[in-house]
């Protein structure tokens, strides 16, 4: 699973989240960092109103939360979602001795990002791509 620090960096770089069933997230508060939630039509539902988007907690007895603003949640994109966001820049995921390497081509330049977690290697590549798009 992607690290909280990289998820926060992606958000800060401009990655926009449109919650869908199956998406994982954390509440963006230090005391909730160990808690990971999953958007689901049954328990945590994304709702969009004219005033903004919320994540509604439906029938969760262990939480005293009815809902949280989308801005208070931190999306933890999956490996597949990160790969999809890289789109045509993605070239390969390789298993190395102690890490995973994600190869991308951005603006004609071949780049490799290594990390022990494949999702973090994807996130590092996406951060590079977002930096190019936002420049």
Residue 76 clears pLDDT 50, i.e. is over it: yes
Six-digit token string for 81 = 């979602």
Picking from 6-10, 18-22, 58-62, which range would have the lowest pLDDT averaged per residue? 58-62
φ and ψ at residue 51, rounded to 5 degrees: -90, -10
86 and 100 in a single domain? The answer is yes
DSSP designation for 68: E
Residue 61 clears pLDDT 80, i.e. is over it: no
| pLDDT at site 52 | 86
For the chain, how far is it from start to end, CA to CA, in angstroms? Answer: 28
Q: Give 46: exposed, middle or buried? Use CB within 10 Å, 0-12, 13-18, 19+.
A: buried
63 and 34 in a single domain? The answer is yes
Residue 119 clears pLDDT 80, i.e. is over it: yes
φ and ψ at residue 71, rounded to 5 degrees: -65, -20
Domain that holds residue 114: 79-134
Six-digit token string for 96 = 């190395």
100 and 68 in a single domain? The answer is no
Final residue belonging to a domain, choices 57, 75, 93: 75
Six-digit token string for 103 = 């190869």
Residue 129 clears pLDDT 80, i.e. is over it: yes
Residue 99 clears pLDDT 60, i.e. is over it: yes
- Please state, in angstroms and rounded to a whole number, the distance separating the CA atoms of residues 101 and 126: 13
Asked whether residue 4 is assigned to any structural domain, the reply reads no
Q: What mean pLDDT do residues 27-31 have?
A: 81
DSSP designation for 93: E
Q: Cβ distance 76 to 24 under 8 Å?
A: yes
Mean pLDDT for the chain overall: 89
Asked whether residue 6 is assigned to any structural domain, the reply reads no
- Please state, in angstroms and rounded to a whole number, the distance separating the CA atoms of residues 74 and 79: 16
Higher pLDDT, 56 or 84: 84
84 and 116 in a single domain? The answer is yes
Asked whether residue 103 is assigned to any structural domain, the reply reads yes
Asked whether residue 5 is assigned to any structural domain, the reply reads no
Picking from 40-44, 70-74, 103-107, which range would have the lowest pLDDT averaged per residue? 40-44
Q: Strand pairing partners for 100?
A: 95, 115
| pLDDT at site 34 | 81
């Amino acid at each position: 699973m992607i690290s909280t620090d990289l998820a926060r960096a992606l958000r800060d770089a401009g990655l926009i989240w449109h919650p869908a069933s199956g998406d994982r997230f954390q509440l963006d508060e230090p005391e909730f960092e160990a808690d990971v939630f999953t958007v689901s039509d049954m328990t945590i539902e994304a709702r969009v109103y004219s005033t903004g988007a919320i994540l509604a907690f439906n029938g969760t007895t262990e939480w005293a939360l009815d809902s949280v603003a989308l801005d208070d949640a931190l999306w933890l994109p999956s490996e597949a979602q990160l790969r999809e966001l890289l789109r045509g820049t993605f070239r390969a995921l390789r298993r190395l001795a102690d890490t995973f390497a994600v190869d991308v081509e951005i603006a004609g330049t071949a780049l490799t990002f290594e990390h022990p977690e494949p999702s973090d290697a994807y996130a590092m590549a996406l951060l590079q791509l977002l930096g190019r798009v936002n420049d």
